[in-house]
Structure 1
């Protein structure tokens, strides 16, 4: 009988390394063993009776042999026989009997002691064998465990291999469906790809990229396909195909939106992934309540045509959303009630033509929304009732051509809103009933040409509105009934030529209103019925070349700071109520004239 010794190659246990690793585990070693090593030790002894009888017989034979030898040596002498047994003889016989009995007992004791020794040795052999069996059982258990783990690992690898093969097959099938000519099959492909993204965690981004790539494919919206009673069959087919494709594309958008509504810990959430809609065409689409957090989202050069693309109540946080160079033609994009916190949403170079952009009731918290160098033509953009808490909103270098921009009832608290070098042509910018608490609203070097800038009923508390270096060419700026409480308004180095700036019935309590270095070359700046209580109003170094500044019926706590004529007469073009000229000064303005917020260096 032959077998194998099983052991584990672990030199730290003081065990000699065994050879022949099994195919299943590199730690298992096998060595051949003999039959003697695998059989149970046996106790080979006669029964006790036979053992005693044998021992007695052997002793008797030994005694007889010794006696015979002794007699032979003595040449077998004659034994004298006497009919009388003396006491001495009897005593000798008794000693002989006792000696024989003692010998028999000694033999029996030797037999018993020998048997006991053999039993003890056998017991020890059994203990050793039992220990070997226990060790072998432990090793066998470890081997079985290792084999089971190896089998499980092999099964897992096989399962994963089969799973990956299945996922790849699903990916290929879904991609094939998305490329089908039939809209129904493409719809099935959209859901198949989305389901695959949920199941295939490691390639979720790849699946999302495919769906985004579908939206980037060339697309002709059905609104651009004209059909009428005289349309031929091909035109009708094209129109129907465009409507079907529109449904497929809107389904892709809804699928993405739904996966962006779940929390980050949701197993099917796509938040934090990248979404590339570069140069895609959107004729509507619903991203409402989607959460764009982390990752990058690109709508660069995307086109929004007709219908409404909605981002209402969406959340933008800790990521970057890019609408740079996007185009909005006759459509609408809504960010109503959206939330912007951290991260950035940029519309650099975007073009809005006859479109509508809504940020109504949106919330801006420490994030940045930038429309730098964008162009809005004959459309509208609204930030009505929006809340700005820190962060920035920029329209630097933007152009408004006949556009209506609305910030009515907006609330600014510590935010910076910038229109540096922006151009407003024949449109309107309405900040009516807005509230500015801290922060700065800047129009540095902006140009207003035939446009309306409305701050009626606005409240400025501790903040600043700055028009440093701005140019007012026709149009009007209305601060009627606005209130400045420790707020500041700067028109330093601004140029007024044909515009009307009205502070009618406005109230300035504390703070500062500065027109230092301003140039009045036409138009009118009116403080009619305004109340300037404790506010510093300065026109130092201002020049008057045909424009007018009027304080008619204004309530002045003290005269404005102006560069009057030597005889104390106000400059030509400035009207000040009687009795308010006693404070006129000819002192030059300080360095703060050019350092006020909103002043933009000539360079």
Structure 2
């Protein structure tokens, strides 16, 4: 690993100070203006109308004039001293910052060299040294540089345990050593993101570039990713357990685009996505288990556009989608299980337009759709099973316009329609089970069906 600071991070502009002559002239002019303003204000408040003329100056008046002259000279000297002292303070501060930066650079070079050492123990020392450097960094840019290097270490090529040669003890020992170093980096990032923003060692608001990192474990429990940009684009979650339970993603931008959840377990239980933007566009959920149960999605948009849910178990049970926009357009649910059991969709827009539900089990049982707009327009339900049993549709509008249903794939048994509108205009195929009330039963207000499904009522 190259041990140097990125040029764009470390270039410093020299201390910019105006020439002393213009500064003194400006200071004197400001002082005169302030004195004139104070004099005029006092004159006005005292109600003075003029000055009493004196044709001859006595000794007392002359002495007062002399004292006034010396006072003006002393004031001018004080102003000069103040300007010079300020400039000296600025120069001293800049010199101290330069010295701190120089020492930081020396320590940084040593720590990065440790990261490239063959010994796992030395690399662990380098990881902790870089974290300490980030805490002591004299500027925000230098702290970001330390964080960038730790993230870059995670992005280095890495062979996960399933890909190790069989019966190769040496390769396994090397893998376990490297995994310990990597998990230490993850733990240090988490610990610093748990600190309050006002803590001098908090890393909240910084950028974390974790593109294409292979995760075979790691704990981000309770971390607060607030502000900045957190990038997991193309990351591989291939084994072990990666935990984001109780993590908070607020402000800034969180990107899981193209991430692959292909094994092990990834736990977002109780995580909060608020403000900012979180995107899982084109992510692949294949194998393993991904748990969003109890998660909260509020304010800013959450994007699952084009995501693939196949051969895995993904659960949004009891999740809360409120405010903002949740996008599942063109998502594919196939050969796996996706559960929205008891999820609550309220006060926002949830879009499943163009989604395809085929060969999988998707469960919306006991879900609540209230005060929001939910659309399954042009969605395709073929094969597998999608159930809305005991779901409650109330509030705004739920649209299945142009959706296509095949026999026995969708179940609305005991679904409730206490308010709002549920629109199946233009839908075709076989009517979902339990949607059309039997003859003689009251027809739910706000429910619109195509004539082919219920000619007598629609």
Interval containing the TM-score (normalised by the shorter chain): 0.7 to 0.9
CA deviation after TM superposition for structure 1 residue 528, in Å: 4.3
Secondary structure of the equivalent of 1:444? coil
Give yes or no for the alignment of 1:386 onto 2:335.
Answer: no
Contact 1:451/1:474 (CA < 8 Å) preserved in 2? no
Contact 2:421/2:447 (CA < 8 Å) preserved in 1? no
Which structure 1 residue ranges, 4+ long, deviate > 6 Å from structure 2?
8-14, 133-154
Task: Please list the CA deviations of residues 344-389 of structure 1 after superposition, one character each: whole Å capped at 9, or x if unmatched.
Answer: 1111111111132211011121122111111111112111111122
CA deviation after TM superposition for structure 1 residue 501, in Å: 1.7
Secondary structure of the equivalent of 2:254? strand
CA deviation after TM superposition for structure 1 residue 12, in Å: 10
CA deviation after TM superposition for structure 1 residue 465, in Å: 2.9
- The equivalent residue for 1:332 is 265
RMSD: 3.3
Task: Give the TM-score normalised by structure 2.
Answer: 0.78
Distance in 2 separating the partners of 1:329 and 1:12: 68
- Which of structures 1 and 2 has the larger relative contact order (alpha carbons within 8 angstroms, sep 6+)? 2
Contact 2:152/2:209 (CA < 8 Å) preserved in 1? yes
- The equivalent residue for 2:277 is 344
Give yes or no for the alignment of 1:430 onto 2:363.
Answer: yes
CA deviation after TM superposition for structure 1 residue 309, in Å: 1.4
Q: 1:270 aligns with which of 203, 209, 231?
A: 203
Secondary structure of the equivalent of 1:397? coil
- The equivalent residue for 1:527 is 437
**Number of aligned pairs?**
398
Contact 2:417/2:444 (CA < 8 Å) preserved in 1? no
- The equivalent residue for 1:511 is none
Q: 2:433 aligns with which of 477, 502, 506?
A: 502
- CA spacing shift, 1:539–1:443, aligned 2, 3 Å: closer
- The equivalent residue for 1:250 is 183
Contact 1:221/1:283 (CA < 8 Å) preserved in 2? yes
Task: Give the TM-score normalised by structure 1.
Answer: 0.60
Contact 2:423/2:447 (CA < 8 Å) preserved in 1? no
- The equivalent residue for 1:594 is none
Distance in 2 separating the partners of 1:402 and 1:271: 39
Give yes or no for the alignment of 1:184 onto 2:121.
Answer: yes
- The equivalent residue for 2:63 is none
Task: Please list the CA deviations of residues 48-79 of structure 1 after superposition, one character each: whole Å capped at 9, or x if unmatched.
Answer: xxxxxxxxxxxxxxxxxxxxxxxxxxxxxxxx
**Which ranges in structure 1 are unaligned for 5 or more consecutive residues?**
1-7, 15-127, 504-524, 543-548, 551-558, 563-603
- The equivalent residue for 2:158 is 219
- The equivalent residue for 1:561 is 457
- For the pair shown, the structure with the greater C-alpha radius of gyration is 1
CA deviation after TM superposition for structure 1 residue 320, in Å: 0.9
CA deviation after TM superposition for structure 1 residue 155, in Å: 5.6
Distance in 2 separating the partners of 1:284 and 1:246: 9
Secondary structure of the equivalent of 1:501? coil
Contact 2:377/2:401 (CA < 8 Å) preserved in 1? yes
Secondary structure of the equivalent of 1:484? coil
Give yes or no for the alignment of 1:418 onto 2:355.
Answer: no
CA deviation after TM superposition for structure 1 residue 462, in Å: 2.0
Task: Please list the CA deviations of residues 101-121 of structure 1 after superposition, one character each: whole Å capped at 9, or x if unmatched.
Answer: xxxxxxxxxxxxxxxxxxxxx
CA deviation after TM superposition for structure 1 residue 325, in Å: 0.8
The answer to which of 445-454 and 142-151 deviates more is 142-151
- CA spacing shift, 1:492–1:291, aligned 2, 3 Å: same
- CA spacing shift, 1:199–1:536, aligned 2, 3 Å: closer
- CA spacing shift, 1:135–1:465, aligned 2, 3 Å: closer
